[in-house]
Amino acid sequence: MNLTDLLKNKSLWVKQETLKLHKRAPGTRIASSLSCIEILVVLYYGKILSCDPKNIQWDTRDRFIVSKAHGSVSLYPILADFGFFEKEELKKISKEGAILGDIPDNSIPGFETINGSLGHGLGVACGVALALKRKNLNAKVFVLSGDGELYEGSVWEAIMFASHHKLDNLTLIIDNNKICMLDYCKNILNLEPLDDKFRSFGWMTKIVDGHDIEQLYHALADLKKDESNQPKVLIADTIKGKGVPRLENDSLCHIKALKEDEIDKIIMELT
């Protein structure tokens, strides 16, 4: 099987597993967790991230900071598949005594930081990226953030810091699903043109279709190799609630939960 097919198969599997997790834990943010599945699959199964579940704190691992923690329940099946924790844990999600909750935190093996509150990931990642440079380690730092959290002022403090300190070992991936909790971002405070904003702050920018495995893979592989003295941002255009017709492009999909029998039907119809 070639890499593209493998990544497509894995994406389908992660989608199914994420929906099953939502069935067990209806409080999970399903729409946000569906928009970043291909990004997560390419990072892990495409081996963009170097990680070792047997040695989680391995010094030269790539650091992956999930700033949009609420929308990363889809990372649970991947981490379980890689062996960061037992697959049985997926069945216990949000039950008493479980390690997995509705929103991931740093007590779960595989999560570097705690990010239930938005707008923190990039700043901490800048500190980590600077530290890696001072330690002369070749490891890279990847951050996954939503577009809505760019409203937090602290993110822009970090954006300025990253370019001033030439953190070219840092890549920010924006899951640009264009919807916040109550509405489309363009109706709240328009964030576009995002790439121009980043470019004017001294960042290297790239835009891809965030559901296109091949585009994502090539962009991330290129960005990881690049040493142009600039931090990089990959703006991945995505659809919030991808794969579930009644969520896709519903401006209120962030807060919508799916019903149990509905989930079984959606899983059967996934392609």
> Per-residue x/- marks for other proteins, 141-170, CB under 8 A?
------------xx--xx-xx---x-----
Stretch near other proteins under the rule CB under 8 A, chosen from 4-12, 18-26, 116-124, 215-223: 116-124
**Cα separation of 269 and 252, whole Å?**
23
Q: Count residues contacting other proteins (CB under 8 A)?
A: 30
Stretch near other proteins under the rule CB under 8 A, chosen from 96-104, 107-115, 218-226, 238-246: 107-115
Confirm or reject binding of residue 188 to other proteins (CB under 8 A): no
According to DSSP H, which parts of 25-118 are helical? 30-35, 37-45, 75-82, 88-91
**Cα separation of 167 and 222, whole Å?**
16
Among 79, 90, 124, 144, which residue sits at the site for other proteins (rule: CB under 8 A)? 124
47 in the Ramachandran plot: left (φ > 0), alpha (ψ -120 to 50) or beta?
left
Comparing CB distances to other proteins, the nearer of 112 and 168 is 112
Among 117, 138, 200, 228, which residue sits at the site for other proteins (rule: CB under 8 A)? 117
Residues 224 to 243: which contact other proteins by CB under 8 A?
none
Longest dimension (CA), the chain: 53
Which amino acid is residue 270, in one-letter code? L
Select from 144, 21, 141 the least CA-distant residue to 74.
Answer: 21
Residues 167 to 186: which contact other proteins by CB under 8 A?
none
Confirm or reject binding of residue 127 to other proteins (CB under 8 A): yes
Among 105, 212, 248, 250, which residue sits at the site for other proteins (rule: CB under 8 A)? 105
Residue 87's alpha-carbon distances to 80, 107, 185, 245, in angstroms, are 5, 16, 36, 29
**Residues in the chain, total:** 271
* Other CB atoms within 10 A of residue 195 CB: 15
Among 54, 97, 134, 255, which residue sits at the site for other proteins (rule: CB under 8 A)? 134
Q: Which residues lie near other proteins (CB under 8 A)?
A: 105-107, 112-117, 120, 122-132, 134-135, 153-154, 157-158, 160-161, 165
